[in-house]
């Protein structure tokens, strides 16, 4: 039997009836395992199954009759799996597809604006050396791996990121330093970029996130140190998008309260369930 394929995707698009959208997605995802989150602001998901089933699901999502065509042209990020990364299918309706504790007043999300840099352009920006390279993930994810020269905002809960940026934005503005921001798949950056601009910052973001950089840059190890954490049973990937031998005990620090509960939950599930595809 072929190894399963992992697909990750998201789309910010207004959904008038998230519950109905979730029911549609649940039906289309039959035969796959993983997690989909639906909210009034859009859809985010991470699923796995046979290549044929994944391809059929992706094609179905983009049909005009599915959610009024709202998901047409959506990007999918693929990676291989040695074993099934999920144990069940879960489709949830939540207030947001990714909760980051941002202030209510900020601009609209635009997944395709000029601030998105393709991997090669991202590398060029990093080489300039004038940008604040900002890791928009949790502290334990940064600790496991990050771009060379990136700063760690020490995110232990979702409001830590905003506090970190607000405290430093005036100095970054005064120095004329742009912010080059990245996350695993791009969703956190897409949602936070308008807020950073509202603080008067020039913002760039890595298109498609770390996973896209690994996929498009065969020599990604030039720019990346360590591994990339993923919210499923694979735990971590190397720069060739291959599963590593890293286990949950090596990811979470039980001395830190926010990581202690993550470790406890992961132990209870044996592995991370992947309920947070963001």
**What are the catalytic residues?**
183
Inter-residue contact 46 to 34 (CB < 8 Å): yes
CB within 8 Å of 239: residues ≥ 6 apart: 214, 217, 220, 221, 224, 228
Tell me the DSSP string of the chain: -PPPEEEEEEEE---S-HHHHHHHHHHHTTT-EEEEEEETTEEEEEEEE-HHHHHHHHHHHTSTTGGGGTTTT--EEEEE-SS-S-SSEEEEE-S-SS-----S--PPP-TTSTTEE-HHHHHHHHHH--SEEEE-S-HHHHHHEEETT-B----SSTTHHHHHHHHHHHHHHHHT--EEEE-SSSHHHHHHHHHHHHTT--EEEETTHHHHHHHH-TTGGGTEEE-EE-SSTT-EE-TTS-B-S--HHHH--TTSHHHHHHHHHHHHHSS-------
């Amino acid at each position: 039997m072929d190894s399963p394929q992992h697909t990750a995707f998201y789309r910010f698009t207004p959904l008038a009836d998230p519950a109905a959208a979730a029911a549609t997605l649940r039906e289309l995802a039959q035969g796959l395992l993983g997690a989909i989150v639906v909210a009034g602001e859009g859809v985010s998901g991470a699923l796995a199954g046979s290549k044929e089933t994944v391809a059929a699901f992706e094609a179905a999502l983009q049909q005009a009759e599915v959610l009024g065509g709202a998901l047409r042209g959506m990007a999918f990020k693929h990676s291989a799996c040695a074993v099934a990364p999920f144990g069940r299918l879960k489709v949830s309706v939540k207030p947001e597809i990714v909760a980051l504790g941002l202030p209510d007043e900020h601009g609209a999300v635009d997944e395709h604006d000029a601030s998105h840099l393709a991997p090669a352009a991202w590398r060029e920006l990093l080489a300039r050396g004038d940008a604040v390279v900002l890791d928009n993930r949790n502290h334990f994810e940064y600790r496991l791996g990050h771009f060379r020269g990136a700063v760690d905002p020490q995110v232990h809960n979702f409001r830590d990121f905003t506090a970190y940026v607000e405290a430093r934005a005036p100095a970054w503005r005064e120095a004329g330093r742009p912010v080059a921001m990245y996350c695993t798949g791009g969703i956190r950056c897409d949602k936070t970029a308008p807020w950073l601009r509202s603080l008067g910052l020039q913002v760039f973001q890595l298109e498609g996130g770390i996973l896209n950089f690994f996929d498009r840059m065969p020599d990604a190890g030039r720019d990346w140190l360590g591994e990339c954490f993923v919210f499923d049973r694979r735990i971590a990937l190397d720069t060739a998008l291959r599963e590593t031998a890293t286990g949950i005990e090596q990811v979470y620090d039980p001395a830190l309260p926010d990581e202690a509960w993550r470790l406890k939950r992961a132990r209870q599930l044996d592995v991370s369930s992947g309920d947070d595809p963001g």
